[in-house]
Amino acid sequence: MPAIDVLAERLSSYLAADQVNQIRRAYFYAEQAHDGQRRRSGEAYVTHPLAVANILADMHMDHQSLMAAMLHDVIEDTGIPKDALANQFGETVAELVDGVSKLTQMKFETKAEAQAENFQKMAMAMARDIRVILVKLADRLHNMRTLDAMPHEKSRRIAKETLEIYAPIANRLGMHNMRVEFEDLGFKAMYPMRSERIRAAVRRARGNRNEIVEKIEQSLLNCLRNEGMEGDVKGREKHLYSIYKKMRGKRKAFNEIMDVYAFRIVVDKVDTCYRVLGVVHSLYKPLPGRFKDYIAIPKANGYQSLHTTLFGMHGVPIEIQIRTREMEEMANNGIAAHWLYKSSEGEPVQNSHARARQWVKGVLEMQQRAGNSLEFIESVKIDLFPDEVYVFTPKGGIMELPKGSTAVDFAYAVHTDVGNTCIACRVNRRLAPLSQALESGSTVEIVTAPGARPNPAWLNFVVSGKARTHIRHALKQQRRSESINLGERLLHKVLAGFETPLESIPDERIQQVLDEYHMEVFEDLLEDIGLGNRMAYVIARRLVASEEEETPAVEGPLAIRGTEGLVLNYAKCCTPIPGDPIVGHLSAGKGMVVHLESCRNISEIRNNPDKCIQLSWSKDVAGEFNVELRIELEHQRGLIALLAGSVNAADGNIEKIGMDERDGRISVVQLVVSVHDRVHLARVIRKLRTIKGVTRITRVKA
C-alpha cells in the first residue's frame, strides 16, 4: 500500500473523511511541486513532508497542520508563491506554510543571536498560530532522524541548533517526548563517542538493575491493589543526554545517577493521585523536602504531576511520579495533547487553534493568579534560555538581564544616563554593593548623582554588552577631555619657548598641520599630545615652521638640533650621533626617543607612522653625543693612558671605560666617548688606530 494511503488510514481514526481527502490532495500537490527533487539519502523529496505529517499524526494534530506539513517546503524550495497555496488550500494553510518557511530562514547560529530578535519572531509566530511551531518542530524532528545523510560539519551545526533552540522550545511547550528525542539525536550527532559510551554503560547497568526494578514495581503494585486502587506502574530510565548533562553539570559519577530508581504511576483521577501518594508514603519512608505538588501548582508549560522520593529497601532512593492519564499525555506531548484530547472526545477540531491560544493564555493567567508572574517568565524564558535573570524596577517593570548581571548592568539597561551617573544601589530596599550579582526576583533601585562618572573598576564585574560598551565609551570621553586639557598646557608651554603664542598662529596653519596628521579637529591633536602619542615639541615646530624660513619643509623629516633638552632623548641601545640615519620613536608618556634607523629595537615599528617619525639632523646641530666603541688590542702597559691620549688628541672626551682580558695577550676595552658627530667620531677612531697593537675597533650599536 502506498505510504500516503497508510497515513490516510491512520488519520481516518480521528479525522473526518473530507479532511483526510484534503490532506491527500496536499500530498499530491507537494509530490508534483517537488518532482525531480531528491533528499540527500536519495529518496524522492516528498517522503520528507510525508514523514513530517506522520509525526504530527502521531500527536493527532488537526487536518490543517497536516496539510501544512505536506506543503511546508513548497514555498521555500519550489518557488510556488503563497497566494497559489491560498487559492488551492485556503488562507489558513497558506499562512501556516508561510510561517514555517520564515522560521526555516531564521538561522540560530548561537544562543546569543537567537536570544533577542529571533526569540521575538518565534514568539510572534507562536502567538499568531502555535501550529507553525508544531509543524516546524516535526520538520526538525524528521531532519534529525535522517541526519546521518548529512555531511559531518553540517550535521553538527544542525545538532547544535537543535540542542540549543529546538529542544528547549519543545520543553517550553511541554512536549517531553519530542524534547527527549531531540536531545538524544542531537547528543549523538554532536558527541558520537560520548553518546555511545553512555549508551553502552546504561545497557550494562540495566542488567544489574532489572531485579531491583522488578521488586520495587511489584511491591508498589501490591500496595495499590491492597488499597483497592487501579494504576499502571512503570519503571523509568533517564535518557542519555540527561545522564550526560547530570554527569557534566553536577559532576556526578555515572553510578550515582544510575543508583536512583524512578517510577511513574498513572491513574484515572486526580483524587486517586493523592491517595496513591499516601499509600506509597506508608510503604517506604519519604525523603523530606522532596515532595512536589505540580498538580495544585502546574509548571508554566502545563506540566502536572506529583513528585516524591522514597527510601526503598537498603536505602535505595526511589523517585516516583504520580499523575492521571490526561496529565501523562500532557507531559509527553504538551501543547499538542490539546488536539489529541479534544478530538478523541469527539469535539470538532476547527477550534483547536483557538484552544491552543487559550492554553497559552491560561498558563499566563494561572501564574498571574498565583501572584508570581516572575515564575511564569522564568519558566517560559529561563527554560528556553537558562542564562538570564529577571529583576524588577521599583515601579514593578521587569528587566531581563544576562545571568550574573549586577546593579550596574541593570542601571545601564534602564538608561545610559542612569548607568553613567550611578553611585549606589538598593536591592530589595537595602543598600547593596554595585558589584553584587543580582538574583531573579529582586527589586533593584539605582541611586544616581548629577555629575557622577563611571568607574573603570566596573568593567571588572559588568556582564552585559550594553553596560560594557557604554562604560568604555564614557571612560574614553573622560580620558579625552583630560588629555585635551593636558595637551593644551604642554603645547602652550613649548610654544612659549618659541615665543609664538598659540593665538598668533593663523588658523590656516593649524588646518595645514591637522591635514598632515589626518585629523579633523584641533582637539584631536591636543588629545594626542596629552596622551603622549605625539610630542608637543614636534607639533609646536610644525605649527611655527612656515614662519621660519630656515626650517626644513614641513613634509620632510623633522630636524634635530641637539638643543631640545628634556623633550628629546637619545636611545641608550644604539646611541645615535649626528650624521647617522635616525628615526624618532614616540612612546606614549615618554616623549620622543631618537634611534638609529638600523636599531633592532625598533625594527618592527619603524614604518608605523603613529609610533615613528622620520628625523634628520639639523645643519647647525650642537652638543656632545656619546658613542660606545669596542677596541681589541694587545695587552700592554699604560694602555688606558694611551687610549685617553689618543681620544684627547682628537678633541674627544672619554665618558666611561671598561676592560676585560680575553686571554693573556689580547684585551677588549669598552670605551664610551663623546663626540660632535660622525666626522668627529671618524677622527677619534683614526687616532685610536695609530696605537700600536690595536687589532680591531668597532662601534657598538643595537
Footprint on this chain of Mn ion (rule: CB under 5 A): 73, 139
C-alpha cell at 323: 499523575
For residue 631, how many C-alpha atoms fall within 13 Å in the half-sphere facing its CB?
A: 32
Cell 501564574, residue located = 367
Closer by beta carbon to Mn ion, 144 or else 694: 144
- Active-site residue 184, yes or no? no
**Does the annotation mark 77 as catalytic?**
yes
Please report how close the Cβ of residue 177 comes to Mn ion at its closest, in angstroms: 20
For 21, phi and psi rounded to 5 degrees? Answer: -65, -40
- With beta carbons less than 8 A apart as the criterion, state whether 561 and 620 touch: yes
Query: Which residue number, 101 or 333, has a Cβ lying nearer to Mn ion?
Result: 101
Query: Minimum Å distance from CB 244 to Mn ion?
Result: 28
Cα 271 from chain centroid (whole Å): 48
Cβ–Cβ contacts within 10 Å for residue 379, how many? 18
Least spacing, CB of residue 104 vs Mn ion, in Å: 7
Give min distance, CB of 144 to Mn ion, in A.
Answer: 11
| CA angle in degrees (0–180, nearest 5) for 696-698-702 | 150
Backbone φ/ψ region at 592: left (φ over 0), alpha (ψ -120 to 50), beta: beta
Task: List the one residue out of 684, 685, 612 whose CA is nearest residue 651.
Answer: 684
Nearer to Mn ion, 122 or 295 (CB): 122
What three-state secondary structure class fits 249? helix
Q: Residue 478 class from Cβ within 10 Å (0-12 exposed, 13-18 middle, 19+ buried)?
A: middle
The residue (of 139 and 488) whose beta carbon lies closer to Mn ion is 139
Nearest distance, CB of residue 137 and Mn ion, angstroms: 11
Q: Which is nearer to Mn ion, 94 or 513 (CB)?
A: 94
Q: In what order do the strands lie in the sheet with 653-661?
A: 653-661, 666-675, 625-634, 694-699
In angstroms, the CA 33 to CA 477 distance is 60
The minimum distance between CB 133 and Mn ion, in angstroms, equals: 14
Q: Which residues contact 182 (CB under 8 A, 6 or more apart)?
A: 140, 141, 144, 162, 163, 166, 167, 170
Minimum distance between the CB of residue 533 and Mn ion, rounded to whole angstroms?
57
Locate cell 522488578: which residue? Answer: 214
Shortest Cβ distance from residue 233 to Mn ion (Å)? 39
Nearer to Mn ion, 139 or 183 (CB): 139
The sheet with strand 430-432 has its strands ordered as 430-432, 422-427, 444-448
3-state class of 187 per DSSP? helix
Find where cell 696605537 sits: 691
Residue (47 or 670) nearer to Mn ion, CB: 47
CB nearer Mn ion, residue 3 or residue 17: 3
Nearer to Mn ion among residue 101 and residue 321 (C-beta): 101
Task: Assess contact for 49 and 30: CB atoms under 8 A.
Answer: yes
In the complex, minimum distance from the CB of residue 69 to Mn ion, in angstroms, rounded to a whole number: 9
- The Cα 306–Cα 323 span in angstroms is 6
Residue 415 CA to residue 366 CA, distance in Å, equals 32
Q: Which is nearer to Mn ion, 139 or 329 (CB)?
A: 139
| Contact in structure between 95 and 379 (CB atoms under 8 Å) | no
Among left, alpha and beta (phi > 0; psi -120 to 50; other), residue 88 is alpha
- Shortest Å distance, C-beta 139 to Mn ion: 4
Nearer to Mn ion, 125 or 273 (CB): 125
Cα separation of 2 and 417, whole Å? Answer: 67
C-alpha–C-alpha distance, residues 146 and 159, integer Å: 12
H-helix or E-strand spanning residue 447: strand 444-448
Strand ranges inside 347-436, DSSP E:
388-392, 398-402, 422-427, 430-432
Contacts of 34 (CB under 8 A, 6+ apart): 44, 45, 46, 49, 73, 74, 77, 78
Which one of 31, 76, 400, 564 is the catalytic residue?
Answer: 76
Round the CA-based radius of gyration of the chain to a whole number and report it: 41
Q: Which is nearer to Mn ion, 139 or 184 (CB)?
A: 139
Please list, in sequence order, all residues whose beta carbon lies within 8 angstroms of the beta carbon of residue 369, skipping any fewer than 6 positions away: none
Catalytic residue among 35, 43, 62, 77: 77
Look up residue 237 and give its DSSP letter.
-
Neighbours of 223 (CB within 10 A): 17
Place of cell 548581571: 405
For helices 131-145 and 47-58, angle between their N-to-C axes, nearest 10 degrees: 120
How many CB atoms sit inside 10 A of residue 110's CB? 12
What residue is closest to Mn ion based on CB?
Answer: 139
CA dist., res. 176 & res. 160, Å (int): 19
Angle at 593 between CA 628 and CA 624, to 5 degrees: 45
Nearer to Mn ion, 73 or 528 (CB): 73
Hey, which residues are catalytic here? 76-77
